[in-house]
Amino acid sequence: MRTHDYFATQKALPVNDLIYRNVVEATRLTRAGQLADATAFLLRALRGKTKSVDARDEAAGNATAETASRSIDLAARTVEAQSLRPSPRIVPGLERGTHGPAARRPVPEALTSFLERVAPIGPDIERGGLARPWRVREPQKLPEGARFLEGVYGDHAGQRVYKLYIPSGYHGQPVPLIVMLHGCTQSPDDFACGTRMNELAEEHTFLVVYPAQSLSANSSRCWNWFKPRDQRRGQGEPALIAGITRQVMHDYSVDRRRVYVAGLSAGGAAAAIMGKVYPDLYAAIGVHSGLACGAASDLPSAFAAMRQGNGLSAWDAGDRREFEANGRIVPTIVFHGDQDTTVSPCNGDQVIAQSRGVRSRELWTSVENAEVPGGHAYTRMLYTDTGGRSILEQWVIRGAGHAWSGGSPAGSYTDPQGPDASREMVRFFLEHRRPEAGV
């Protein structure tokens, strides 16, 4: 739903609608590089001298909102004003993928201040209320000897920053590596906080790297899982994520047979893509509230897949045949809430079906039902090989929505009442090694 359509159907206070229209106009001016005009406009708005944009500017504002609506925010909780504010977790100056004179110029203090004030006044489509602002948290306290470093990687496909957690128990010995792909509107720090993956890294001694999506690539920081270019090996975001993985493997002592990738929502969809197009790099994948590789090929099909799944994968048939022909099932663990209204739970079924591929008859299926004390019940389906080893796992959490199961309430989009997805993913990952060293 477009933001303007949302306000047209809600009984919002006139002042909220007025402020929103002013933000759209200021956003248009900012993106056009007219920072002085945007600042002056907002200063007039703050003083009550701007009643609304005129008909010409309103049309331009509608066009801007139309552009924003195309950014596939799986969580549907941001407003365009928020996309102008850099993540407090990303080091200023490292967003080098942004181009143009407007991107290189700092946003005036008056504009930043205004956006901070109006950020909570925007549509929260999922809950029908107000969008919450990006929460700024105090830096997490690290155990003695641990490090949480920032880095940047670039190649022909672009450039991305990332954060790398090095546990205190790492002293140069070969250890596993887990790549964590955040969801829309999230940052590496937020995702690390919500999933508690760094705590598990301390417990089991492995490295965790968190690639960060850039605002220049997607205004809601969603991974572009629905674009054909970002579904292929050696291109777009898969090339960047694989490049970050290999850079960490080069810079640190990583067991090349124990490299894994997982993600939430748009990040989960990206993880599914990585498992398909880089089966020689990742030993196993984790998909939380995500979609199968090739579930969409453009924006309309992306929204359709999110609502009702996509039984016919849009992934090129030639690519499917190529990767099914290699005969290897990439071990996959899937989590999805059965009350997820943002990404339909049927997408979890499709991730499992795609992972089984042509070798589905070789797996034995069993079902377990259990409940978290004081929390959600869940169903766990296991697909095991002839040796009894779990190759695929699908967890369906009863009553859960679009959130990381068992996550910390200090992070965004988490559900503390669910089974611990992070711990179960780590357990599943460490049970699997690639049969041959990756590249």
Assess whether 162 and 299 both reside in one domain. Answer: yes
Mean pLDDT of 65-89: 33
Assess whether 70 and 184 both reside in one domain. Answer: no
More confident residue, 73 or 365: 365
Mean pLDDT of 162-187: 98
Assess whether 98 and 151 both reside in one domain. Answer: no
Domain boundary among 96, 126, 156: 126
Cα–Cα distance between 63 and 31 in angstroms, integer? 12
Cα–Cα distance between 215 and 103 in angstroms, integer? 10
Domain boundary among 126, 158, 190: 126
CA 135 to chain centre: 17
Yes or no: say if 401 and 394 are a contact pair by the CB < 8 Å rule: no
Assess whether 151 and 122 both reside in one domain. Answer: no
Q: What is the CATH number of the domain that holds 378?
A: 3.40.50.1820
Cα–Cα distance between 346 and 367 in angstroms, integer? 17
pLDDT above 80 for 379: yes
Assess whether 181 and 319 both reside in one domain. Answer: yes
Cα–Cα distance between 271 and 285 in angstroms, integer? 7
Assess whether 121 and 168 both reside in one domain. Answer: no
Burial of residue 296 (CB within 10 Å: 0-12, 13-18, 19+) is: buried
Mean pLDDT of 11-29: 49
Assess whether 184 and 324 both reside in one domain. Answer: yes
Cα–Cα distance between 90 and 304 in angstroms, integer? 32
pLDDT above 90 for 416: yes
Give the per-residue pLDDT at 310.
Answer: 77
**Total Cβ atoms within 10 A of residue 311:** 12
Assess whether 66 and 179 both reside in one domain. Answer: no
More confident residue, 386 or 269: 269
Cα separations in angstroms, 211 against 92, 149, 411: 16, 12, 17
Confidence band of 38 (pLDDT split at 50, 70, 90)? low
pLDDT digits (tens, 9 = 90+) for 130-143: 223 334 455 678 99
Give the per-residue pLDDT at 319.
Answer: 52
pLDDT digits (tens, 9 = 90+) for 262-283: 999 999 999 999 999 999 999 9
pLDDT above 60 for 254: yes
Confidence band of 386 (pLDDT split at 50, 70, 90)? confident
Assess whether 395 and 278 both reside in one domain. Answer: yes
Average pLDDT, the chain: 76
Domain boundary among 95, 126, 157: 126
Mean pLDDT of 335-355: 96
Query: Could you identify the residue written with the tokens 């492995």?
Result: 206
Strand partners of residue 286:
262, 333
Q: Which residues contact 153 (CB under 8 A, 6 or more apart)?
A: 159, 160, 161, 162, 240, 243, 244, 247
Assess whether 348 and 199 both reside in one domain. Answer: yes
Assess whether 104 and 25 both reside in one domain. Answer: yes
The candidate with the shortest Cα–Cα distance to 108, out of 54, 11, 173, 34, is 34
Assess whether 222 and 279 both reside in one domain. Answer: yes
Q: What's the predicted TM-score (pTM) here?
A: 0.70
Q: Which residues contact 127 (CB under 8 A, 6 or more apart)?
A: none
pLDDT digits (tens, 9 = 90+) for 280-321: 999 999 999 999 999 999 989 999 999 998 754 444 444 555
Tell me which residue range forms the domain holding 60: 3-126
Tell me, yes or no, whether 198 lies in a domain. yes
Tell me, yes or no, whether 290 lies in a domain. yes
pLDDT above 70 for 120: no
Total domain count, the chain: 2
Tell me, yes or no, whether 141 lies in a domain. no
Confidence band of 171 (pLDDT split at 50, 70, 90)? very high
Tell me, yes or no, whether 274 lies in a domain. yes
Tell me, yes or no, whether 142 lies in a domain. no
Tell me, yes or no, whether 388 lies in a domain. yes
pLDDT above 60 for 20: no
Cα–Cα distance between 330 and 280 in angstroms, integer? 9
Tell me, yes or no, whether 66 lies in a domain. yes
Tell me, yes or no, whether 171 lies in a domain. yes
